[in-house]
Amino acid sequence: MWWILWGTWTIVILGVTLPPFKYFVGHAHWDMVRWIPFYDHPLVPFDMIANIILFVPFGYLLKRALSGRSGRQAWILTFLLAGGISTAIEIYQIFCHNRVPSTTDIVTNLLGAIIGVLLSEIV
């Protein structure tokens, strides 16, 4: 059951972060990439909080789904999957006219996943 919930939430994340697809183009916008986390302006607190909140269930549900694994393995897999999905989303955004890829998003997504893992150990 936890795997189904985690998979569903992952689809929700992709559904929220990828559209609209009409702005995807065949060339990269490297000049739009914000490479240094929490440095480039404007930093939008709402976006950072939304990214954290979006990935809390991801971490929570994945940790629950990985309950048969050791705590360390679950932490590492959660970190790698959250980081991989988040990075893939930002790479996709490099090829979109209306998006600004940012390492701040990757960091805040990872923070949300970590908070989710911590909550799964408490609750």
77-99 pLDDT, tens per residue? 999 999 999 999 999 999 998 88
Q: Is the pLDDT of residue 13 over 90?
A: yes
One-character DSSP codes across 49-62: HHHHHHHHHHHHHH
Give the pTM: 0.91
Please report which confidence band the pLDDT of residue 106 belongs to, taking 50, 70 and 90 as the band edges: very high
Phi and psi for 87 in degrees, rounded to 5? -65, -40
* pLDDT score for 69: 78
* pLDDT score for 70: 77
Q: Mean pLDDT across the stretch 10-26?
A: 92
Say if CB 32 and CB 94 are below 8 A apart.
Answer: yes
Q: Considering the chain, what is the average pLDDT of its residues?
A: 92
Compute how many other C-beta atoms are within 10 angstroms of the C-beta atom of residue 51: 22
| Crossing angle of the two packed helices 2-17 and 45-65, in degrees rounded to 10 | 160
* pLDDT score for 67: 85
What's the burial of 123, exposed, middle or buried (CB within 10 Å: 0-12/13-18/19+)? Answer: exposed
C-alpha torsion sign, points 118, 120, 52, 73: positive
